[in-house]
Structure 1
């Protein structure tokens, strides 16, 4: 370009001017639109992945609490068993108080049955929370896989835009579709 109003363009200047004025071939616009849509979907998938991971941690915590409560019940059960055993021994050593110790043994057996039922119920609750946690972690992994594939699609979009290679666009669209499918699997708990 000279200072007297006469312009000399390089081979790429004309294309850059047309792209800047919005006269592109649609290639840039379609890749930009794809990238925006996939980035939005990826953000939603990322949110769901974080939510399921938080749920998994919460459920695992609930399982640990129930397991501790069950352990406490089993300790209480053992204490009642020890008292029952001592009453059985005392009954043998002091025949005069036999009836008293028989009543004590009967009482301890009844208390142990209730304690055992409570402990088993707490263990079942703990197992349920563990299963819920495992399910949430599976969901988290699905969401994370979907998000990762969509991030790869976005990276492929940038490379396709820079290189203008048609086959990279196909890879980009394919990766986007795979990411959405994996996200669908996560949404349907598969």
Structure 2
């Protein structure tokens, strides 16, 4: 019969041919799905890497600010300390003038020392106001430094989450595991959420 130009296939031949066709279709479908997954992960990684770079910059920026503000606080504290030393010196001079006034018998000398005492008292009040203002300023700088440090920790946490997400993306590409892809998305969402908290100073 083969000389007549056609062949008769048995049931087994039909099943083998059908299985082969189904395998080819499934392979093509898996290839398309795999390619789609690769494209999704690649796009996701690029976006997350960009967001992570911004978060990393903000972490460094807030850390630098925290250091700068802490330095400003230290300067103001030193200035306040100098003012309190100056205040103490005026207090000592005032005390000496009061003793001298009380010990002298001359009314002229008493009046002269009294004038000095009043002058020292006025100067002390002015110095005290400056010192207290500097202390308040130092406290404000300390508060700003603490706020910046808190924000820095938030940015650092967000950056770490995004780095873990990118690592999961690489493993998902190599293993083609769907649960790793879900994990990658979940960690990235957590990282972006922490970044938003940092932006809102929470």
Q: Indicate whether the TM-score tops 0.5.
A: yes
What's the TM-score once normalised by structure 1's chain length? 0.87
Give how far 1:98 is off: 1.1
Structure 2 residue aligned with 1:123: 135
Give how far 1:24 is off: 4.5
Indicate which of 59, 76, 82 corresponds to 2:86.
76
Cα gap change, 1:23 to 1:185, in 2 (>3 Å)? closer
Indicate which of 102, 108, 130 corresponds to 1:92.
102
Structure 1 ranges of 4+ moved more than 2 A: 22-25
Indicate which of 158, 165, 175 corresponds to 1:163.
175
Equivalents in 1 of 2:120, 2:34: separation in Å?
87
Structure 1 residue aligned with 2:42: 32
Equivalents in 2 of 1:79, 1:148: separation in Å?
54
Are 2:18 and 1:43 aligned?
A: no
Give the gaps of 5 or more residues in structure 1. 1-14
Cα gap change, 1:115 to 1:127, in 2 (>3 Å)? same
Give how far 1:25 is off: 3.0
Which structure: greater helix fraction?
A: 2
What's the TM-score once normalised by structure 2's chain length? 0.82
Are 2:120 and 1:108 aligned?
A: yes
Max Rg structure: 2
Equivalents in 1 of 2:176, 2:33: separation in Å?
16
Please, what is the CA RMSD of the aligned residues? 1.6
Structure 2 residue aligned with 1:180: 192
